[in-house]
């Protein structure tokens, strides 16, 4: 069952706070990656590159957990648990959007200059449980 994001959670996720995405390795052990994040409706979206360990893990086992804390107040945090779908980032739109959110205007240009074989993907995490300390 999909869980909607509250306004407080959405504000935390839409601010330039870094998240830690946890996936499951083939041997069952956890794998974590620091990621830039955004929202699309009630889904959390993350940009990555095809072939990375987190992508291979999610293609095999879509279960994931994302923890994000407020850089201005580290007692405020949210954990989003759910399932993820990986799709191609057409036109590298999400990569550019997140780069500009986190690093400023024009920062996304580097993603547009990548060679075609550097395929960017979108991880779309659909929340099934949302926990944390946000108000």
- Within 17-127, residue ranges assigned H as helices are 53-60, 93-103, 109-112
Residue 1 falls inside a structural domain: no
Domain membership of residue 2 (yes or no) is no
Domains in the chain, number: 1
- CATH number at 29 reads 2.30.110.10
Q: Is the dihedral of CA 126, 7, 101, 96 positive or negative?
A: positive
Does any domain span residue 127? yes
* pLDDT in single tens digits along all 135 residues of the chain: 889 999 999 999 999 999 999 999 999 999 999 999 999 999 999 999 999 999 999 999 999 999 999 999 989 999 999 999 999 999 999 999 999 999 888 888 888 888 888 999 999 999 999 999 998
Give me the domain span that covers residue 129: 7-133
Distances from the Cα of 95 to the Cα of 78, 103, 130, angstroms:
23, 12, 25
| Predicted TM-score of the model (pTM) | 0.94
Residue 83 lies in a domain: yes
Within 8 A by CB and 6+ apart from 71, the residues are: 15, 16, 17, 18
Position 13 in a domain: yes
Q: Is residue 61 part of a domain?
A: yes
26: in domain:
yes
Q: Would you say residue 47 lies in a domain?
A: yes
């Amino acid at each position: 069952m999909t869980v909607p994001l509250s306004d407080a959670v959405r504000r935390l996720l839409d601010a330039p706070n870094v998240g830690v995405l946890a996936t499951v390795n083939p041997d069952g052990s956890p794998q974590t990656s620091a990621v830039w994040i955004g929202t699309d409706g009630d889904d959390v979206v993350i940009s990555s590159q095809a072939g990375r360990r987190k992508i291979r893990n999610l293609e095999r086992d879509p279960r994931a957990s994302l923890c994000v804390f407020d850089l201005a107040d580290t007692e405020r945090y949210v954990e989003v648990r759910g399932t993820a779908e990986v799709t191609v980032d057409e036109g590298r739109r999400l990569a550019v959007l997140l780069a500009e959110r986190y690093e400023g205007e024009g920062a996304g240009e580097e993603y547009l200059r990548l060679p075609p074989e550097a395929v960017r993907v979108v991880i779309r995490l659909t929340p099934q449980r949302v926990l944390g300390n946000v108000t």
